[in-house]
A = this chain, B = another copy of it.
């Protein structure tokens, strides 16, 4: 069964495309690319991003508030799978590649049909979610990155749901953990997550402490600070002999700063 997202605007006012998406319609914040994936298991791979709008979390350091907070809802387009694949194909020149499903939390959208349609056209799909909502269509994904949020986010992890996400992905999907680490407490959390799912590869990523703001058209980036945090995390992993972890920065932030659309 493909889960459906609920439309939380059903006031009965003037029916516009943004107010009354059909069942199966996906709320899209932005579609852009091709660029290279900047994080985690598929780092460096050419990809088109489909970023969905809406999130059940409010992480303290969220770097994509424009795809999270409902005050930006009027910027999110309700699109059918057909319309999304048309845009993806336009960007890719009709040549299949990896599609990165991101958010917000893309798991709250009805993405099963999109994945089926894209697969028929030769595309692959990677999705990243915090693991707070599980869907049966996770099993259709080529890559699933579960990125439960550490204490610095001020969110709480529901371990039962996270485990259900792992189970839903099954054995045909390459599943990995990715934990953002800002400090020692986050690091301890990451180790705890890894202990719970020893079968999954773990990617550690230093936190972005200068994510820019929504209105900032040319946000700066504290490159020195970002590199210091990367060195700190590598040192930490080495001293701790956590040799099973993979440590990667946000490559896109190093290359393009905090700009959107790359």
> Which of chain B's residues have a CB closer than 8 A to the CB of A97?
243
Option from B46, B203, B237 in Cβ contact (under 8 Å) with A242: B46
CB–CB B234/A255 < 8 A: yes
A35-B238, A234-B36 as given contacts; A46 in contact with B247, CB under 8 Å:
yes
List A residues 20-53 near B (Cβ within 8 Å): 33-36, 43-46
Shortest Cβ distance from residue A119 to the other chain B in the assembled complex, whole angstroms: 16
Nearest CB in chain B: distance from A259 CB, A = 11
Which residues of A in the span 210-262 have a Cβ within 8 Å of any Cβ on B? 223, 227, 230-231, 234, 237-238, 241-243, 245-249, 251, 254-256
Contact A231 B243 (CB under 8 A): no
A98 contacts the other chain (CB 8 A) = yes
Copies of this protein chain in the complex: 2
Q: Which of A78-86, A88-96, A103-111 is the interface stretch? A: A88-96
Q: Which of B203, B237, B241, B248 contacts A92 (CB 8 A)?
A: B241
Interface centre among A93, A242, A245, A251 (most CB of B within 10 A): A251
Question: Of B34, B238, B249, which one neighbours A243 at CB under 8 angstroms?
Answer: B34
CB–CB A46/B238 < 8 A: yes
Q: Indicate if the CB atoms of B243 and A98 lie closer than 8 Å.
A: yes
Q: Distance (Å) between the CB of A191 and the closest chain B CB?
A: 14
Considering the complex, give the chain B residue whose CB is closest to the CB of A203: B44
Q: Looking at the assembled complex, report how far the CB atom of A258 sits from the nearest CB atom of chain B, in whole angstroms.
A: 14
- Chain B residues with CB under 8 A of A234: 35-36, 255
In angstroms, Cα B93 to Cα A97, docked, is: 42
Partner of A251, one of B33, B223, B237, B249: B249
Report the separation of the CA atoms of residues A241 and B44 in the bound assembly, to the nearest whole angstrom. 14
Cα of A234 to Cα of B242 in the assembled complex, Å: 32
Interface residues of A (CB under 8 A from B): 33-36, 43-46, 92-93, 95-98, 203, 223, 227, 230-231, 234, 237-238, 241-243, 245-249, 251, 254-256
11 contacts between A and B (CB under 8 A): A36-B234, A36-B246, A36-B247, A44-B247, A46-B242, A93-B241, A97-B243, A227-B255, A231-B255, A248-B251, A249-B254
**A-B contacts besides A33-B238, A248-B251, 15 pairs, CB < 8 Å:** A34-B243, A36-B234, A36-B237, A36-B246, A43-B44, A44-B248, A46-B245, A93-B241, A95-B241, A96-B243, A231-B255, A231-B256, A249-B251, A249-B255, A254-B254
